[in-house]
């Protein structure tokens, strides 16, 4: 069965960077695009961006342009999302989602930004 398994929780200081991984299994990695979505505590879902593992194309939300980088490693079937210059407003659960329709979701990675 399709599974997306994300890396563990992170605690970062303001100004630092975080890199979250999302390892896919149960399907051919290049088949499904990967999107990243975050959810601040008690808030709704916020789309951050998208990457095509097949071509490496990306599309980022304007809010994160210049601060986020999404990559994939097809040799390990893993997608990555790096977010730089963190502030307390970046404290959230970060999800990867696979498929055109966001069919499959990782379990989420809590990133806490605190001094």
Partner 1 sequence: EIVLTQSPATLSLSPGERATLSCRASQSVGSYFAWFQQKPGQAPRLLIYDASNRATGIPARFSGSGSGTDFTLTISSLEPEDFAVYYCQQRSNWPRTFGQGTKVEIK
- For residue 111, the cross-strand partners are 10, 92
- Nearer CB in complex with partner 1: 3/85: 3
State whether residue 8 is helix, strand or coil: coil
Q: Is the Cβ of residue 50 or residue 54 nearer to partner 1 in the bound state?
A: 50
Measured CA to CA in angstroms, residue 94 lies from 10, 19, 28, 70, 75 at distances of 11, 11, 23, 13, 23
Sign of CA dihedral 66, 61, 93, 102: negative
Tell me the closest approach of the beta carbon of residue 106 to partner 1, in angstroms: 7
Cβ proximity to partner 1: between 16 and 91 the closer is 91
The site for partner 1 (CB under 8 A) is made up of 35, 37, 44-47, 50, 59, 61-62, 95, 97, 100-103, 105-108
Please report how close the Cβ of residue 38 comes to partner 1 at its closest, in angstroms: 11
Least CB distance to partner 1 at residue 85 (A): 20
Is the Cβ of residue 13 or residue 41 nearer to partner 1 in the bound state? Answer: 41
**Shortest distance, position 95 Cβ to partner 1, whole Å:** 6
- SS3 for 107? coil
- Going by C-alpha positions, the residue among 35, 31, 39, 36 that lies closest to residue 93 is 39
């Amino acid at each position: 069965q399709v599974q997306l398994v994300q890396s563990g929780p992170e605690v970062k200081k303001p100004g630092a960077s975080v890199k979250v991984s999302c390892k896919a299994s149960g399907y051919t990695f290049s088949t499904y695009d990967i999107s990243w979505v975050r959810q601040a505590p008690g808030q709704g879902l916020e789309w951050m961006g998208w990457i095509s593992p097949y071509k490496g194309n990306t599309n980022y939300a304007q809010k994160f342009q210049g601060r986020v980088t999404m990559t994939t490693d097809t040799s390990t079937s893993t997608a990555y999302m790096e977010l730089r210059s963190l502030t307390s407003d970046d404290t959230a659960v970060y999800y990867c989602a696979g498929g055109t329709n966001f069919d499959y979701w990782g379990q989420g990675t809590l990133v806490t930004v605190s001094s």
